[in-house]
Amino acid sequence: MQEMVKFNRLMTNMSSSLSLLRRAIGGLAIMSSDLDDMYVGLMNNQLPPIWEKVSFATMKTLGSWMKDALSRIEFMRTWLVNGLPVSFPLPVFFFPQGFMTGTLQTFARKYMVAIDTLSFKFGICGFEEPQEHPEDGVLCSGMMLEGAKWDPDAAMVVDSVLGEMYTPLPIVHFIPAVGHVIAPTSYACPIYKTAVRKGVLSTTGMSTNFVVAVELPTAVDPDTWVLAGVAALLNLTD
């Protein structure tokens, strides 16, 4: 519901501003600075600042952003009409950290455990979407690795092919667990919303860009991937 409120606010903002811009171009309304910036953005294939204020985190051009927004809205509409999906593409959320917290809250209520003792452990499910919902936790997809790739045969993270910037990460099972600690032999791969890889603390105390660190098996020292700057991104730049 929180996500749908944000999408509805975005669509309302787009509809009203486009209508007002049309009137301003026709001389029926005042061309304010916001509308002027919006017009320049539309002409240059850039996201208008008036939309960016209520948009999800992105570094895309306007055309790519529009396709992205429509696909997110379609997923939310399908979820609302058809019920809970088997897996969730993490990039569709405005605030994926809230989705993670909701998953922990559901587990805490089900098993009557304190939520502040819970964290995630992770299971890699492959690239094909399972047909059934997991017993606990959620299945998440849509993450792209930068600086490395996932080897499905070895079931671990390895060096990416020369010249290949981004590679898909398989569906990951986020499993709530009490007191779970990432193994020192695994790589705690950070997930970011955008390639900026930086953010500020929001009013909730969570980062506006960092989401969570996913535990990935590796055959080399995990510091190797830290030095290589390997991370997973939810939204690519184009």
**109-149: per-residue pLDDT in tens?**
999 999 999 999 999 988 888 888 899 999 999 999 999 99
How far is residue 177 from each of residues 105, 113, 117, 189, 215, measured CA to CA in Å?
A: 12, 10, 8, 18, 13
Structure confidence at residue 204 (pLDDT): 60
Structure confidence at residue 198 (pLDDT): 75
pTM: 0.88
pLDDT digits (tens, 9 = 90+) for 84-107: 999 999 999 999 998 999 999 999
| Mean of per-residue pLDDT scores for the chain | 91
What is the mean predicted confidence (pLDDT) over 178-193? Answer: 91
* CB of 170 closer than 8 Å to CB of 196: no
Asked whether the predicted pLDDT for residue 160 surpasses 60, the reply is yes
Nearest residue to 233 via CA among 160, 171, 182, 166: 166
